[in-house]
């Protein structure tokens, strides 16, 4: 059969397009893995699962990564990763467990060991040195427990602190978040007094509702309450973040729609930033700071959005980032409860959307901090995702600030 010149040209063009598409697909470069903790289904008591996504280096778009793995229990609520990105920890409320996974360079998770906590786990953090895991527990009496880590393996508890409000030791304290200064010198826990703040329930205490506990970390991991701790922290603090230079700590207040800033002094002591607190969207649920310490992003659960802020490096003061549409917020899928920034480039931001059953992705402009949505966002997950972390692919260098 003979082809006309036009037919031949069309055939050659079509083959070229197919080859180009194939080669482009082959050249996709994974810059990060995004791990998302969610339920396996909407059925109460079903085991939790961890979903893995590969992030494209050029666009930040997510595609399905290695197979889904069990979180090791039901009701996964928090995740944390070591600074070398080789170990991932997941807190499961359904069976009071914290499960340790090894993270391979290709994003594959392998369960290694686990511990059972005395009360329901609430939040997790790992210090920069990778030597201690901090776990907050308790739905009626909050506790901070420090576990030593040996090549990622969780050891027996090394230190423990009961979180109580001075003068109100019988109140019910609920811990909501924990973080560690990058220099490993102090641990901070956000908590609220449910006896003083209980919408729909009975208030039995006139204590201030919101608190931030501070503990200096000493030799052998000894925890010592900082002078003045606990510090006032709004009504219902919900999330915590430290800047990479160890100078500032930021807390979201879920009830007052605010971001509260503190300046870090010696031995973990905190002072309020004089011009705070700073307005957020409604029901701020999570906060993250980019690896260079220039921008803050807050997920606003009720608004289904992200609020972005520039950080004034001399003072730590956040100022709202305005996008090209003169808006102060960036739309996500429904009810973002966790926000994270990719550590490899510091160019992509992701949220886990609890009601949307999805992850939303954004590209971060490194000069302005403005966010734009990634291709095909949002990306579907399992039921009711609660937490996510981002790990660089393989041995990729990470963005960082030297204090």
What local confidence, expressed as pLDDT, does residue 272 receive? Answer: 96
Cβ atoms < 10 Å from Cβ of 224:
16
What local confidence, expressed as pLDDT, does residue 397 receive? Answer: 55
- Identify which of 231, 234, 173 has the alpha carbon closest to the alpha carbon of residue 205: 173
Looking at the predicted structure, is the pLDDT value of residue 398 above 70? no
pLDDT in tens, 148-160: 999 999 999 999 9
* Predicted confidence band of residue 6 (pLDDT cuts 50, 70, 90): very low
Q: In this prediction, what percent of the chain has a pLDDT beyond 90?
A: 83
What local confidence, expressed as pLDDT, does residue 327 receive? Answer: 67
Residues 223, 267 contacting (CB under 8 angstroms): no
Looking at the predicted structure, is the pLDDT value of residue 376 above 90? yes
What local confidence, expressed as pLDDT, does residue 386 receive? Answer: 97
* C-alpha to C-alpha distance for 92 and 115, rounded to whole angstroms: 11
Cβ atoms < 10 Å from Cβ of 184:
16
pLDDT in tens, 167-191: 999 999 999 999 999 999 999 999 9
* Predicted confidence band of residue 274 (pLDDT cuts 50, 70, 90): confident
User: Rounded to the nearest 5°, which phi and psi values hold at 108?
Assistant: -75, 135
Going from the N-terminus, what domains does the chain have, and what CATH number goes with each? 33-392 (2.130.10.10)
Looking at the predicted structure, is the pLDDT value of residue 25 above 50? no
pLDDT in tens, 87-118: 999 999 999 999 999 999 999 999 999 999 99
What local confidence, expressed as pLDDT, does residue 24 receive? Answer: 40
pTM of the model: 0.90
Q: What is the mean pLDDT of residues 323-335?
A: 80
- Identify which of 113, 133, 122 has the alpha carbon closest to the alpha carbon of residue 77: 122
């Amino acid at each position: 059969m003979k082809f006309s010149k036009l037919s031949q040209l069309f055939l050659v063009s079509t083959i070229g397009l197919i080859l180009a598409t194939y080669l482009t697909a082959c050249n996709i470069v994974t810059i990060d893995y995004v791990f998302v903790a969610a339920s396996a289904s909407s059925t109460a008591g079903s085991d939790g699962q961890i979903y893995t996504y590969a992030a494209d280096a050029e666009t930040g778009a997510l595609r399905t990564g290695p197979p889904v793995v069990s979180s090791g229990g039901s009701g996964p609520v928090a995740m944390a990763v070591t600074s070398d990105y080789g170990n991932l920890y997941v807190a499961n409320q359904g069976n009071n467990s914290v499960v340790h996974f090894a993270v391979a360079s290709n994003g594959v998770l392998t369960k290694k060991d686990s511990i059972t906590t005395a009360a329901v786990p609430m939040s997790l953090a790992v210090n920069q040195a990778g030597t201690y895991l901090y776990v907050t527990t308790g739905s009626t009496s909050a506790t901070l427990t420090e576990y030593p880590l040996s090549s990622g393996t969780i050891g027996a508890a090394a230190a423990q602190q009961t979180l109580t409000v001075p003068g109100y030791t019988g109140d019910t304290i609920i811990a909501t978040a924990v973080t560690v200064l990058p220099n490993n010198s102090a641990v901070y826990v956000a908590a609220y007094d449910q006896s003083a703040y209980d919408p729909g329930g009975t208030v039995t205490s006139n204590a201030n509702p919101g608190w931030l506990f501070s503990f200096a970390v000493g030799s052998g991991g000894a925890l010592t309450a900082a002078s003045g701790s606990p510090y006032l922290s709004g009504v219902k603090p919900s999330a915590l973040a430290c800047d990479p230079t160890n100078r500032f700590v930021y807390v979201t207040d879920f009830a007052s729609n605010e971001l509260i800033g503190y300046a870090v002094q010696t031995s973990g002591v905190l002072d309020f930033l004089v011009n705070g607190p700073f307005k957020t969207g409604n029901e701020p649920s999570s906060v993250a700071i980019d690896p260079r310490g220039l921008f803050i992003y807050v997920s606003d659960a009720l608004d289904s959005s992200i609020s972005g802020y520039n950080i004034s490096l001399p003072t730590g003061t956040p100022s709202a980032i305005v996008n090209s549409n003169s808006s102060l917020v960036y739309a996500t899928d429904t009810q973002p409860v966790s926000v994270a920034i990719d550590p490899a480039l510091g160019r992509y931001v992701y949220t886990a959307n609890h009601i949307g059953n999805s992850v939303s992705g954004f590209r971060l402009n490194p000069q302005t901090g403005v966010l734009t949505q990634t291709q095909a966002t949002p990306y579907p997950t399992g039921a009711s995702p609660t937490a996510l972390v981002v790990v660089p692919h393989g041995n990729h260098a990470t963005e960082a600030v030297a204090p």
